[in-house]
Structure 1
Amino acid sequence: LELIVMLTNLEEYSKVKCSKYWPDEVRGARAFGNITVQHVSEKRYSDYIVRELKITKQPTNSEGQPIVENNGVAKRNGDIKSDGESAPTSPREAKDTGESRT
């Protein structure tokens, strides 16, 4: 697994849409049993966020697996992008975007 594309906000109109599995702070870590998710970096764009995460399974995978997560930030009320950057529209484009921007 190299890429996660999340197409929704965590919460919308006071309704939980998905669970947050990464730590709040960059360089933070969060454990789920013997699996640890480390928040390596984050870059914000007008309508999406690219996060670099590192997944480690203890004790067998001590090096960890780097993962890029593209999180589309849903616009409400017809918001218009200001910087001309648009969210990736396919898994391939999302992977390319993550590689070139992180």
Structure 2
Amino acid sequence: MSNDVQAAIKQQVEENPIILYMKGTPQFPQCGFSMRASQALAGCGREFAYVNVLEDEAIRQGIKEFGNWPTIPQLYIKGELVGGCDIILEMYESGDLQKMVESTGEAAQ
């Protein structure tokens, strides 16, 4: 994978306190896992950035290498990989996702 793609992903992750790499958008998710992950994040009441990996094949492959995580969606909070759909949903149900989201200090719009 090119260093340019890895650098672009690194910049996105560092510049956005909460960023979800997903298939589609929160308004129009293109897979069930991405839909559930974005709904859980939205349920935490904070703004979050997202990248539609379907729009860029290099990012789609690059994000899997960046976090050494084979599936999409992938959630990053404060530069750290949180995990994929199953982890996001488990954390949402336990309240841990809410705490992580609130730790970013970003208020809802």
TM superposition score normalised by structure 1: 0.27
Give 1 or 2 for the bigger CA radius of gyration: 1
Instruction: Select the structure that is richer in strand.
Output: 1
TM superposition score normalised by structure 2: 0.26
Asked which structure has the greater RCO (Cα within 8 Å, sep 6+), the reply is: 2
